[in-house]
Amino acid sequence: MKSLAIYFSMGMVILCCSCTPKTSDHPQNWSDKKLTAWYNSGEWRSGWEIAPDESVNQREMAIQYLRNRERWDKAFNFLKTSDLKNLETGRYELDGDSVFVTISEYMTKNEEDARFEAHQSYADIPYLVDGEEQIGIIPLAKTTETVPYDTLKDIVFLSAPENNYHLATPERFFVFFPGDAHCPGVKKDENQTVRKVVVKILLP
């Protein structure tokens, strides 16, 4: 869309024509058809063949990916090219504090010992390399804060009226944005040791 501005300077009329971005190009304004086509193309996964869980917010994924493609590409390239089964546990920095990875092994918890959490500054990409666990997922707006937000750790703990469990396995990955409260690490049937990779991406 072009806009025309008129300026008066020293008795002269100056016409200035400027262009503004088309709002229709923003993922927030995409049609459902366009959004689905983009999401299903998988271009945002950098060729990583693991499937996203159905819980992933497709529109938020498009917004955040296109807002900072470089960080997301680093994250998914790491997941695609790394030997996730054999890397040592610990932290790996892909771009300082802007994109980093934690690899951990732990025993899944009983439901009564698990709690919901959410983040404000980072998006999470959790992927269970070995084993299986349940992850509760619910909109942040439906939760109640139980432990205040910790700025340094970027985490708040919450309670929720329902668990809405999704099964995490090596066949799928998740993406959590600030609006997604999640309760990870809950046992499925029996407690078991699992291996998990979480890529954390600082949001603009």
Q: Would you kindly state where each structural domain of the chain is located, as residue ranges?
A: 30-202
Q: What is the pLDDT of residues 141-189, one digit of tens each?
A: 999 999 999 999 999 999 999 999 999 999 999 999 999 999 999 999 9
Q: What is the pLDDT of residues 105-122, one digit of tens each?
A: 999 999 999 999 999 999
The predicted structure's pLDDT at residue 151: 97
Regarding the domain with residue range 30-202, which homologous superfamily does it belong to in the CATH classification? YhcH/YjgK/YiaL (2.60.120.370)
The predicted structure's pLDDT at residue 29: 95
> Mean pLDDT throughout 63-83?
98
The predicted structure's pLDDT at residue 25: 86
What DSSP element (H or E) covers 58?
A: helix 58-67
First to last CA, the chain: 26
CA distance 38 to 51: 15
Q: Which pTM value belongs to this model?
A: 0.87
The predicted structure's pLDDT at residue 195: 98
Positions of E strands within 108-190: 116-118, 122-130, 133-139, 144-150, 155-159, 165-168, 172-173, 180-186
Q: Does residue 33 carry a pLDDT above 50?
A: yes
Encode 7-36: b = buried (16+ Cβ within 10 Å), e = exposed: eeeeeeeeeeeeeeeeeeeebeebeeeebe
